Amino acid sequence: MPIIRIEMFEGRPDEIKKELLMKVTTAAAEVLKIPAEHFTCIITDVPRKHWARGGVPFSEVELQFASQIMDRSFTSLALRSG
């Protein structure tokens, strides 16, 4: 029973998280040839002050820069999932 863990900045709407969970599960099920029902997905919302890059919390980084990092992460996820 595979477990998929997703850590991201807090604040995204529940509808977006629901879509993400569905798409990640579907992609993993297709790649691993395992029924989607066998997967468990966990989203952990992390406050920006508890997530750092280079020792600097994202709460102290310009919002535009943090947004670019998040966009690249989601683009990377989408490219890998198909």
> Which is the CATH superfamily of the domain at 3-81?
Macrophage Migration Inhibitory Factor (3.30.429.10)
Domain ranges of the chain: 3-81
Q: How far is CA 41 from CA 14, 16, 24, 33, 57, in A?
A: 14, 14, 8, 17, 26
Mean of pLDDT over the chain:
84
Q: Which of 2, 13, 35, 47 is catalytic?
A: 2
Average pLDDT over residues 28-33: 97
Q: Is 57 a catalytic residue?
A: no
pLDDT tens across 49-68, in order?
Answer: 999 888 888 888 766 555 66
